[in-house]
Amino acid sequence: MRVFSWEDICGNPLCFKEFLDSLTGSSGEAFSALTIGDFDGCHLGHRALFNKVFSAVSSSNGAGGSPFLFPGAVTFNRLSGGSGKISGAGVFTLKQKLDALEKLGFVFTVLIDFSADFSKIKGTAFFEILADNARMRYLAVGEDFRCGFRLDTGYSEIKNISLRLGFVFDPLPPVLFAGQRISSTRVRSAVLSADFFEAERLLGRPFILDISEIQWQFSGSAGLSASFSGENISAVFSASVVMFNQVLPPAGRYLVELFDGEGEFSTDFMCSVDDRKIRLECGDNLPLLLTDKAGLMNEKNGCVYAGLRFMAKI
């Protein structure tokens, strides 16, 4: 998946056009089908939006004069909401978000640094740039989506803009689960209350704490003879909670699995969380090895991360 900055789109639209055209070979001009959002967690509500984009792409193969469309996501790199003990911390790190978007099938992402300057752009100007420079011919967003300076652009404005600029506007009603809207806030609330089953149902995948950039410190012997799997615990590693930019579960001791960046999970390790540190009880230097492995994979394959999957509070 190719990642473009907002500056790339604004300052070098020819480069973006060449990228899209290269995807069709000599078959004709290419355009983009876009969705826009924070996509924190890429939960089931987000994926309903993504499916709209992929459906539009699959029905546009250039036949009968229809354009070639390729799926892209416009998303944001906001300043960190704080450590995992702060309610504003995210469900995903940026690395996890880009990894998820790529695996779901997007061929490019426009990653926007949500700066003070960008926040002053009016919604009309934003969509004009996407239509002209990013070659947008299809847009799927939620019905309540708003953007632009002081949120000046919503459903009715986007509909009028789409008619003027010539792209298809395909809004999505709220996606419900158990009678309530699926949202990143709802996922964060589930993690903050240690309801990992609820978080997984909303995400469509387990909640995983990214440890790829964490500097673990050896803290000595665990003082325990075995983990739940019967393996000897020979070490405890700890890291300050301020190093984590994701939401963290409440203080307690948890059964966790270690995710190695390739989709493989090791089982039955213990993790303790308090107001200052996260401690991982495991054999040898496993968290360091996993982090190194994910780093090597990241150099070859893009946004790969190692992580902790929280299973249950003990």
CA dihedral in degrees (140, 144, 146, 152; nearest 10)? 130
Q: Tens digits of per-residue pLDDT, 6-31?
A: 999 999 999 999 999 898 876 678 99
In this predicted structure, what is the pLDDT of residue 147?
A: 96
In this predicted structure, what is the pLDDT of residue 235?
A: 72
Q: How far apart are CA 275 and CA 258, in angstroms?
A: 22
- Domain boundary assignment for the chain: 2-177, 206-313
Topology (CATH level 3) of domain 2-177: Rossmann fold (3.40.50)
Which residues are within 8 A (CB) of 88 and not within 5 positions of it... i.e. 6 or more apart?
Answer: 81, 82
Q: What is the mean pLDDT of residues 251-276?
A: 81
Both tokens of 90, joined, read: 């995210």
Q: Tens digits of per-residue pLDDT, 91-130?
A: 999 999 999 999 999 999 999 998 889 999 999 999 999 9
Helix H or strand E segment including 275: none
Average pLDDT, the chain: 85
Q: pTM above the 0.75 mark?
A: yes
Tell me if 314 sits within 8 A of 254, measured CB to CB. Answer: yes
Half-sphere exposure (Cβ direction) of 135: Cα atoms closer than 13 Å: 21
CA distances from 226 to 139, 146, 261, 314 (A): 53, 52, 25, 15
Q: Tens digits of per-residue pLDDT, 124-164?
A: 999 999 999 999 999 999 999 999 999 999 999 999 999 99
Please list the residues that pair with 270 across neighbouring strands.
255, 281
